Structure 1
Amino acid sequence: MDPITSLSQKAVFFDVDDTLYDHLIPFREALQRVLGTGEDFPYAPAYHRMRYYSDKLSAEAGGTPTHGSELSEMRTRRFSLSLAEFGILLTGSQAEEVQSEYLNRQFDITLFDGARPLMDDLIGRGIIVGLITNGPPEHQMKKIRALGLSELIPPERIFISGAVGITKPDRKLFDHVTDALNLTSAACYYVGDSWRNDVVGALEADWNVLWFNHRGAEPESSHSPHFKVDSYADIAQILLDAAGQAQK
């Protein structure tokens, strides 16, 4: 698949969790606080499995639950299932405590180095910048506010699955974005870390995709993202080069 080389008057959208900030940090801190795991625990592989089960359980539920017992059960089960693979068998109360600690720590977060300058630069060049993320609306908005992005990105360019009623990787969410902002799929770039939700979802909608694979994950299907990147320096070079070509 050949990448589109010009942004012209186009748009760049970012995923939130583990794309704009390090999602592993609250995960590691929650396990250390509640379970007493040490520095030698394989946090990154365990986090990857937690994200896998989160996506799997969400898909089985027909999309990320946004409230009530279904959401609570999904959140605790992902910890029980993932940590069992690493020899930690959680009781129900332990799973709830880990989830609660993990949830509370998700709002003490900062953007990855280079993310904010890139957004500022794109906006300064007249490029539309927005967010597309799965999850309950208020929960995700608290993260967005904690990252200082609610002042930069107007609400009409923030798309949260729980508010829209469509969950990634369903291409209808990406189609909803293009329809809402009067864009074409060829005009849109998407930056995300999740193969299933971000790469597959955006490619199915014919968007231009940058797979932010900063954790060294393996592809999970035959889909082919336009760009594979592992740093914001790489992301910036691709997007700003394209923006510069569009302005010539």
Structure 2
Amino acid sequence: MEKKGVFFDVDDTLYDHLSPFRQAVIAIVGDREGFPYEEAYHRMRYHSDMLSLEMGGAGAMESGSSTELMRRRRFELALAEFGIALSEEQASAMQAAYIGCQFNITMFEGAKELIERLVKAGYVVGLLTNGAENHQLRKIRAMELDHLIPSERQFVSGKIGWDKPDIRVFHHVNEVTGTRPENSVYIGDSWRNDVIGALEAGWSVIWFNHREASPESGEHTPNHTAVNYEQLAKLLL
């Protein structure tokens, strides 16, 4: 019998990634009435992806002055789009505040319970996330998922050498876990990295669109869309 795999993105899929962003912005420039934190967060994610690619991908992003520059620049570029000009010092302080609360993680309601049910039901359950290896693994440790998802099923692009949406990342996961694309489901929030990447690799995709964003293109269609873990559980189980 073919192994069935269910793989989850980490940031903004297992936990609310907006929370540390909002805290960091407020810490440096104050809480501005009517500021679109969610929209600004999406632009920060976009600039983070683009700058990372320019610098060689997540595998090159573990540490060093170039990494600090990228992390600072993503805040400068994102907030500039909303009329907030950050000095280098402010952007660096915002990044430091962001990192400072990034590992204080509360998973979405029902997330851990769904993973437990999938494991119990016999699925191959794993994680696939973009980012520097040590940085992402710290988040996974903070969520205390090791007893459910063994380390060999925790895939971080910085270690693999390719970033989502590169289909080689998804093929690597299939190869290591003994699963096949047609029996693999990916759950993620990013249209570009998760929906497009997994569909191009031949996987099924559930777009975890809890922020109710609009599709970024008409060329790809996720198999399903869910806005919370109750809906995800119904789709998967």
Q: TM-score, normalised by structure 1?
A: 0.91
> Matched residues in 2 for 1:36 and 1:236: separation?
38
Displacement after TM superposition at 1:112 (Å)? 0.2
Q: Residue type matched to 2:183 in 1?
A: A
Displacement after TM superposition at 1:218 (Å)? 1.8
- Counterparts of 1:92-241 in structure 2, within 5 Å, are 92-221=88-217, 222-240=219-237
Q: Residue type matched to 2:47 in 1?
A: Y
**The residue matched to 2:197 in structure 1 has which SS?**
helix
> Matched residues in 2 for 1:203 and 1:93: separation?
41
Aligned residue pairs total 234
Displacement after TM superposition at 1:37 (Å)? 2.3
For residues 51-77 of structure 1, give each alpha carbon's deviation from its aligned partner in whole angstroms, at most 9, with x where no partner exists.
111122223334222322222111111
> Matched residues in 1 for 2:10 and 2:146: separation?
12
Q: Residue type matched to 2:233 in 1?
A: A
> Matched residues in 2 for 1:186 and 1:44: separation?
34
Partner of 2:27: 33
Task: Output the aligned Cα RMSD.
Answer: 1.4
> Matched residues in 1 for 2:148 and 2:179: separation?
20
Deviates more, 1:171-180 or 1:48-57: 48-57
Deviates more, 1:157-166 or 1:34-43: 34-43
For residues 125-173 of structure 1, give each alpha carbon's deviation from its aligned partner in whole angstroms, at most 9, with x where no partner exists.
1111100001111111111111111232100100001111111111100
* Ranges of 4+ aligned residues in structure 1 off by more than 4 Å: none
Which runs of 5 or more residues in structure 2 are unaligned? none
Highest relative contact order (Cα 8 Å, sep 6+), 1 or 2?
A: 1
Deviates more, 1:79-88 or 1:57-66: 57-66
Displacement after TM superposition at 1:39 (Å)? 4.9
> Matched residues in 2 for 1:187 and 1:121: separation?
18
Q: Residue type matched to 1:171 in 2?
A: I
Partner of 2:55: 61
Q: TM-score, normalised by structure 2?
A: 0.95
**The residue matched to 1:72 in structure 2 has which SS?**
helix
> Matched residues in 1 for 2:48 and 2:67: separation?
11
Q: Residue type matched to 1:34 in 2?
A: I
